[in-house]
Amino acid sequence: MGVTVRHAPQKATRPVTAAAPQEPPGPPEDDLAARFRSGDEAALREAYDRFGRAVLHLAISTLSNRSDAEDVTQATFVAAWLGRETFDPTKGSLIGWLLGIGRRKVIDRLRASAREARVVETVRQHPDPTPTRSDPDNVVDRLVVADELARLPGEQRRMLELAFFDDLTHHQIATMTGVPLGTVKSHIRRGMQCLKRRWEVDGATHGPRPAGLPGAR
Amino acid sequence: MQHMDHDRLVFLALGESEADNEERAYLAGCEHCRSELENLRRVADLSAEGQGLHDLPDPPDHLWQGIVAEIRAAERLPTLVEPRRPVTAPDTFADPPARVLSPPARKRARWSGWMTTVATAAAAAILGVVGTAVVLGGTEPEPAPPQQQTVRASASLAAFGETPPEVNGAARVFDNGQLHLHVVNLPDVSGYYEVWLIDPETMEMFSVGVLGGDTDALLPLPPNADLERYSVVDISAEGYDNNTAHSGDSLVRGTLTS
């Protein structure tokens, strides 16, 4: 692979979540989390605008039925709003918390349909009886890491994207961007640390959440 | 032994080079570096898999409308946080503390017109289901015939056993023998929810009825029900299994006090 990879470096990756693509990382999310928790309805709308598509993505990629996925998404935001006082911003981000609620609801739904499937042997509604759906924990982890990646400072993020998406080596990145190799290294190392930390805090396979489906961990 | 250079671990995690024999031997012996490498690898994989995630499609409009409608409906209904004192209709509910989730009226103006319409329609539909006998109190205080209902006993319902703590609610028994239940976040079950009154001393019980999909329900109690004895309100998950007994799978419970 050469170094002439077309990566369109100008097109910023937007947070998995944020509505505006070019927004500088986090118009203070702490503030959004605090307002959400205190019952500010504008914060609910804002949280939905930023995180709604991530929650819907979680549901769609794990459930076989689109309307179930929409139900779960709706129920996630309703439960989050009604239970907003239980959200503890010191334990993780708002999106991590929302995805955690969504993940439990997905798992409940999967269990319920597994029971149904056992009782009703004939598969009626599902044209494909064994759809390969993603594991909820993996989807949550991917969303959390992608969200963090989008929040990294511009240059750090760009180097990581070149490494992850375009499979470039440190040397190739340095050549392509004209950034000294040592700087590339430190950007990538720091960026990786941020991603790892965030994954440890908000991810589903890491951190303090109760285990979901047996073997999900 | 000194740990491996972190830059080198990142290199390995990104697949930029392979561990040589010496490194492999070292990693086999160092739990710390091995798990760091595994974590970095996992993060790198997750990152690469997440490439398309920054461009997810927007949810359909009706989803937001559904969220608003459901929340509005929940807020419209009495939340029974302070059910002890006799509740008289409908003025009591104009009194903010009785409706904890209700925002002040002026806050509502933040929602655009159509949202309020959707919400009001949905709330109205649910009010219809619950029935006017309950002291719901409309926003207009005047016309509703003043249905005086006194609360005889009430209980707050908390998650039981392995049920997640966000499942909770309240129960109250009116003087007219009706049991009003308000429960939020019940988990999906393959069968249905059944409501029981249980004698905590003997664990004898009787079924009061089933709960539908709404957050609120009004169920008639037998007129001679002894609430002193059958003081525990229990909601269970039941299956369509031709077995009328309690499944043993209680979701929420609470004790009635008068």
Is residue B93 located within the same domain as residue B109?
yes
Residue A16 in any domain: the answer is no
Residue A142 in any domain: the answer is yes
A146's enclosing H/E stretch is helix A136-151
Domain that holds residue B86: 61-130
Is residue A116 located within the same domain as residue A162?
no
CATH number of the domain that A160 lies in?
1.10.10.10
Type of residue found at B200: P
Task: Kindly identify which residue of chain B lies nearest to residue A85, measuring between CA atoms.
Answer: B166
Q: Is B242 at the interface with chain A, CB within 8 A?
A: no
Q: Is B184 at the interface with chain A, CB within 8 A?
A: yes
CATH number of the domain that A93 lies in?
1.10.1740.10
Type of residue found at B122: A
- C-beta atoms of A141 and B46 within 8 A: yes
Is residue A164 located within the same domain as residue A130?
no
pLDDT of A10 strictly over 70: no
Q: Is A7 at the interface with chain B, CB within 8 A?
A: no
Is residue A45 located within the same domain as residue A97?
yes
Is residue B91 located within the same domain as residue B182?
no
CATH number of the domain that B213 lies in?
2.60.40
Is residue A129 located within the same domain as residue A195?
no
Strands B205-211 and B168-174, bridge-based pairing: unpaired
Residue B1 in any domain: the answer is no
Q: Are B173 and B152 in contact (CB under 8 A)?
A: yes
Is residue A148 located within the same domain as residue A98?
no
Is residue B89 located within the same domain as residue B48?
no
Integer-rounded Cα Rg, in Å, for chain A is: 20
Of A134, A165, A194, the position where a domain reaches its end is A134
Q: Is A116 at the interface with chain B, CB within 8 A?
A: yes
Which residues in chain A have Cβ-Cβ distances shorter than 8 Å to B57?
53
B238's enclosing H/E stretch is strand B232-238
Task: Kindly identify which residue of chain B lies nearest to residue A16, measuring between CA atoms.
Answer: B54
Is residue A31 located within the same domain as residue A129?
yes
Buried b (16+ CB within 10 A) or exposed e, B163-193: bbebbbbbbbbbeeebbbbbbbbbbbbbbeb
The reply to whether ipTM tops 0.85 is no
Which residues in chain A have Cβ-Cβ distances shorter than 8 Å to B48?
164-165
**Residue A39: is it exposed, middle or buried by C-beta count within 10 angstroms (0-12/13-18/19+)?**
middle
Is residue A38 located within the same domain as residue A93?
yes
Q: Is A15 at the interface with chain B, CB within 8 A?
A: yes
Is residue B103 located within the same domain as residue B182?
no
Of B100, B130, B160, the position where a domain reaches its end is B130
Is residue A186 located within the same domain as residue A171?
yes
A135's enclosing H/E stretch is none
Residue B143 in any domain: the answer is no
Q: Which of A20-24, A25-29, A48-52, B175-179 has the lowest mean pLDDT?
A: A20-24
Indicate the DSSP class of residue B209: E
Residue B137 in any domain: the answer is no
Query: What is the residue-level pLDDT of chain B in tens, covering all 258 positions?
Result: 589 998 899 999 998 888 899 999 999 999 999 999 999 999 999 999 999 898 899 999 999 999 998 888 877 655 444 333 443 443 333 333 333 333 333 333 334 444 444 555 555 555 444 443 333 333 433 333 335 578 888 898 988 888 888 888 999 998 888 899 999 888 888 889 999 998 888 788 899 999 887 888 889 898 888 888 899 999 999 988 888 888 888 899 998 988
A181 bridge partner residues: none
Q: Count residue pairs from A and B with Cβ separation < 8 A.
A: 134
The pLDDT tens digits for A56-100 are: 999 999 998 899 999 999 999 999 999 999 999 888 899 999 999
Q: Is B129 at the interface with chain A, CB within 8 A?
A: no
Q: Is A73 at the interface with chain B, CB within 8 A?
A: yes
Which residues in chain A have Cβ-Cβ distances shorter than 8 Å to B193?
none
Domain that holds residue A50: 27-134
Domain count, chain A: 2
Tokens of B15: 């697949």
Non-local (6+) Cβ contacts of A90 within 8 A are none
Tokens of A122: 């004939």
Whole-model pTM over 0.95: no
Of A134, A164, A196, the position where a domain reaches its end is A134
Domain count, chain B: 3
Of A82, A116, A134, the position where a domain reaches its end is A134
Closest by Cβ to A108, choosing from B48, B59, B188: B188
Task: Kindly identify which residue of chain B lies nearest to residue A54, measuring between CA atoms.
Answer: B56
Is residue B211 located within the same domain as residue B177?
yes
**With a CB-CB cutoff of 8 Å, which residues 83-102 of chain A face chain B?**
83, 86, 101
Q: Are A95 and A17 in contact (CB under 8 A)?
A: yes
Gap between the Cα atoms of B198 and B188, Å rounded: 23
DSSP 3-state of B192: strand
Min Cα–Cα distance to chain B from A202, Å:
13
Closest by Cβ to A112, choosing from B49, B110, B189: B189
Q: Is B49 at the interface with chain A, CB within 8 A?
A: yes
- C-beta atoms of A48 and B64 within 8 A: yes
Is residue A70 located within the same domain as residue A95?
yes
Is residue B220 located within the same domain as residue B124?
no
Is residue B229 located within the same domain as residue B245?
yes
Residue B204 in any domain: the answer is yes
Q: Is B66 at the interface with chain A, CB within 8 A?
A: yes
Non-local (6+) Cβ contacts of A7 within 8 A are A161, A162, A165, A166
Is residue B12 located within the same domain as residue B92?
no
Tokens of B240: 């369509």
